[in-house]
Amino acid sequence: MAIIEVKDLVKHYGEQRAADGVSFTVDEGEIFGILGPNGAGKTTTVECVAGLRDRDAGTVSVMGLDPARDAKELKQILGVQLQESRLPDKMRVGEALDLYRSFYPNPADPDRLIESLGLGAKRRTPFGKLSGGQQQRLSIALALIGNPRIAVLDELTTGLDPQARRDTWDLIEQVRDTGVTIILVTHFMDEAERLCDRLAVIDSGKVVAVDSPAGLTARVSAEQRVRFRPSAEFADALLLDLPEVAGVERNGPQVVVSGSGNLLQAVASVLARNHIVAADLRVEQVSLDDAFVALTGKSIEN
């Protein structure tokens, strides 16, 4: 069931159209990704959904509320973790939660939240003395302290080290498991691939595609490649006879087999039957990165 519906959302800043007819729906209980390069209009879109910015055109409905009209009610059921929102350096973790808790009618239990976010030992630590990952976790805690039905998380692993990123991902999955619907704004492919049930690819203020990560890659191409170095010579026909194989290329000592379906299994068993050992065996699949390039005509990093 759709918990958020966005239709033909338009928002411009002067001449620039940050959101140019954005439409998507988010289902209850899913992690919905908004993926796009910097400046694509991701933040503008979620700000219009969260009632932080007024849209110029289109309709937005969040659990039946219109963010432009019902911003106050909306903020009680929607928690937001914004990019680069800090706290005063000398405010302590426990104090921040206690303060933000008082802003909501039915807040969460701050002690349980602190424990579940792994900040139990940091209760008396001031914000300025927390590591980047801990600050980010506190930020998530503040987005969740109001017991929201929906949490919007904007670029939350930017600037974190790999371990802290993985910990944050686990945390988001835990939050989803408690029934909170999550909108995750990101420009990291691996993050989108790992976490999102579905995602909207946004580029230049427009939605290019909405699908699951697997659906997006399948859209671009179902082709796979298997690459290996054979221990003995063999004729290409050996592999070309297989229904899964579309082509065989030779690249010096390397053989590159392209095809679809259960390609790896088919190739491996034929080689094994012929007593050929495949060294440096690698399977290459179309990644979300490739899908993104195919959909938008550019790489996400630029």
Partner 1 sequence: MSSFMKLVQAEARLFVRDTTALVVGLLLPAVILLGLGAVPMLREPSPEMGGIRFIDYFAPSMIVMSVGVVGLTNLPTVMAGYRERGVLRRMRTTPVHPAKLLSAQLVVNVGAALVSSLLVIVAGRIAYGVPLPESPLWFALAFVLGITAVFALGMLVAATAATSRAASGIASVLFMSTMFFGGVYLPRFMLPDAVARIGDFVPPGVQTLLDSWNGETPAALPLLVMAATALAAGTASARIFKWE
Residues of the shown chain interacting with partner 1 in the complex, contacts defined by CB under 8 A: 50, 52, 72, 75-76, 79-80, 82, 84-88, 90-91, 95, 98-100, 102-105, 142-143, 146
Name which of 143 and 182 has its Cβ closer to partner 1.
143
Query: Please, how many CA atoms are within 13 Å of residue 57, restricted to the half-sphere of its CB?
Result: 10
Give least dist CB 257 to partner 1, A. Answer: 52
Residue 226: partners with Cβ closer than 8 Å, 6 or more residues away: 256, 257, 258, 259, 263, 264, 267, 281, 282, 283, 284
Name which of 45 and 296 has its Cβ closer to partner 1.
45
Spatial contact of 55 and 205, defined as CB atoms under 8 Å apart: no
Give least dist CB 294 to partner 1, A. Answer: 35
Name which of 53 and 176 has its Cβ closer to partner 1.
53
Measured at the alpha carbon of residue 146, what is the angle toward residues 33 and 144, in degrees to the nearest 5?
Answer: 40
Alpha-carbon gap, residue 189 to 26, rounded angstroms: 19
- For residue 290, give both structure tokens: 């490739």
Alpha-carbon gap, residue 192 to 211, rounded angstroms: 12
Give least dist CB 265 to partner 1, A. Answer: 50
Name which of 98 and 161 has its Cβ closer to partner 1.
98
What region does 13 belong to: left with phi over 0, alpha with psi -120 to 50, or beta?
beta
Give least dist CB 103 to partner 1, A. Answer: 4
Q: What is the 3-state secondary structure (H, E, C) of 147-176?
A: CCCEEEEECCCCCCCHHHHHHHHHHHHHHH
Give least dist CB 84 to partner 1, A. Answer: 5
Name which of 14 and 105 has its Cβ closer to partner 1.
105
Give least dist CB 3 to partner 1, A. Answer: 18
SS3 assignment, position 110: helix
CA nearest to 78, candidates 154, 182, 178, 148: 148
Name which of 61 and 76 has its Cβ closer to partner 1.
76
Name which of 128 and 247 has its Cβ closer to partner 1.
128
Query: Please, how many CA atoms are within 13 Å of residue 16, restricted to the half-sphere of its CB?
Result: 8
Give least dist CB 109 to partner 1, A. Answer: 17
CA nearest to 18, candidates 52, 59, 47: 47
SS3 assignment, position 223: coil
Name which of 29 and 107 has its Cβ closer to partner 1.
107
* Residue written as token pair 């995750």: 184
Give least dist CB 100 to partner 1, A. Answer: 7
